[in-house]
Structure 1
């Protein structure tokens, strides 16, 4: 029987267990994947702790994870776009912190041979979110974008996608991540008290737009630097929606294939990279979520349910 990470009550990562689960069967219009890697996102520990129960209630026992990369090992009735043996990446219908997962072929794209499994597993969540928010902020060539949490999962993608569009990017991050941000073409600054002065020291007129991925309370400073709330967008400061800023939550829909196509094209051109901060087997998912919740990451965390050669 395949293994999966499950929990029977909301709580800390300590409530997670690796259990045997009945084999999944691909229904009509579905495929089953042998999971090679699954990306860890902040929403995973938020679901576990019950912070999302009003909008994403869990039916216990529940699982975690939605970003996935794997091999199609079963195709349901009516599936023609994918075949058994295809290597794919995208989003799963069932929890991806498991050895097996179901997915809608429309939420998957082919994994290029040049993209390692671990990196492939990070693209659907953080990559698509970054692509979407840059569109919402209307980032264009010659503009200046300030990214809070620039070394995190979404931040790393957003920085590089904005640079590829010809924008100037200023990114807040811990000093240990500054050199990495410079390698992406961004200008790093430390976050915290005095942020406005540090940004204005390198961009006296302020910035054109702000992306907040950190939720450290920078919204007032962001609004001042952007000259108003219209082009300030947060992924986490839902309580600041009343200030006039944009608050974003990624939802399935049109544009996902185009986003992944753009991201993969930049990767294959060598213009976009995603550092992996750590990989974890199923029995160490609790440790991965604890690291994710602590923040200050210099890349993405990945769950590796089975080992099938190089990541």
Structure 2
């Protein structure tokens, strides 16, 4: 099969189109012919070699943990799909990638709603799983107020919608040019950055019941002040969390229960017109290096997606 891959760590230019053997699904897995694949911060971190997980990667490596496509092979003990079904989901975490290719093996999946664009489906998997897992840890109840710090990005924008669907009032931090997006997703926007407490006071916000830090930009002290309880705060990106008594959620890599149940739930919300995956940019597979550059230096507004053709040129 054809695949975007790299055989050394470094900048986006290490990515190149090549060929390799198609992956085979094991029990409990399915293989898809990929139509779209997401590009996420974890892909960038692994490719650069800056994350400790990079040391676990056999090279050459195919990046990408999110994919959507047509089921073309089914492993043993799988009973909820048939060949030809359209699905979206997450690659097997033990492979730490493999979505930016002609075929990919999914570990978790849901059926793609008929009207959901492939670009949205291809970028949805890990953001939905991560946001669902974080919300489950926080356990906000209907009528509560949750603050999502970094709400316009790939995970934050999903967390806003899933929390709103649970009957939670959401306040989301973002740059001013992303405030309209947050309003469309159902959140009350507030400008991102230090002195958050004063800006919330100006909005008349008197209570924050839960806080989710997606950005990892050093806001934990302020979030603790706002909630008054370290157990009411979860971070996905700030590795100083233990020093604050705050939970750092790293998913299956840390032995936590996963949020796979969020995938079919989000698909149902989509069919009701209550969910979408904001897309920042779309690139063909052959422009994966440009997609990675955008992920590194772009606006962090929604998701970045690669579309996969039958026979890419380049």
- Fold shared per TM-score above 0.5: yes
Change (3 A) 1:163 1:203: farther
Distance between the aligned counterparts of 2:257 and 2:210, measured in 1? Answer: 24
Contact kept? 1:174, 1:296, Cα under 8 Å: no
Q: Which residue of 1 aligns with 2:211?
A: 210
Deviations 1:202-242 (A, max 9, x none): 24434111111111211111111111322111110012322
Q: Which residue of 1 aligns with 2:126?
A: 125
Change (3 A) 1:205 1:57: same
Deviations 1:56-105 (A, max 9, x none): 6211111211111111223356655433212111112350011111234x
Note the aligned Cα RMSD (angstroms).
2.2
Contact kept? 1:199, 1:206, Cα under 8 Å: no
Residue 285 of structure 2 is aligned with which of 265, 282, 285?
282
SS at match of 1:37: strand
Change (3 A) 1:97 1:200: same
Unaligned ranges ≥5, structure 1: none
Deviations 1:134-184 (A, max 9, x none): 111111111111111101111111111111222211111011110111112
Distance between the aligned counterparts of 2:309 and 2:146, measured in 1? Answer: 39
SS at match of 1:251: helix
Distance between the aligned counterparts of 1:227 and 1:288, measured in 2? Answer: 40
Matches within 5 A, 1:151-300: 151-251=152-252, 256-300=259-303
1:75 aligns with 2:78: no
Distance between the aligned counterparts of 1:91 and 1:173, measured in 2? Answer: 27
After TM superposition, the structure 1 stretch with the greater mean CA deviation from structure 2, 255-264 or 239-248, is 255-264
Q: Which residue of 2 aligns with 1:305?
A: 308
Distance between the aligned counterparts of 2:26 and 2:244, measured in 1? Answer: 45
Distance between the aligned counterparts of 2:28 and 2:258, measured in 1? Answer: 20
Change (3 A) 1:55 1:240: farther
Aligned residues: 305
SS at match of 1:260: helix
Change (3 A) 1:228 1:81: closer
SS at match of 2:83: coil
SS at match of 1:162: helix
Contact kept? 2:89, 2:110, Cα under 8 Å: yes
TM-score by length of 2: 0.89
SS at match of 2:147: strand
SS at match of 2:36: strand
Contact kept? 1:151, 1:298, Cα under 8 Å: yes
Q: Which residue of 2 aligns with 1:53?
A: 52
SS at match of 2:139: coil
Deviations 1:5-44 (A, max 9, x none): 1111111111111112234444565433110011121111
Distance between the aligned counterparts of 1:61 and 1:174, measured in 2? Answer: 37
SS at match of 2:230: coil
Matches within 5 A, 1:105-144: 107-144=108-145
Distance between the aligned counterparts of 2:7 and 2:279, measured in 1? Answer: 30
Q: CA deviation at 1:200?
A: 2.2
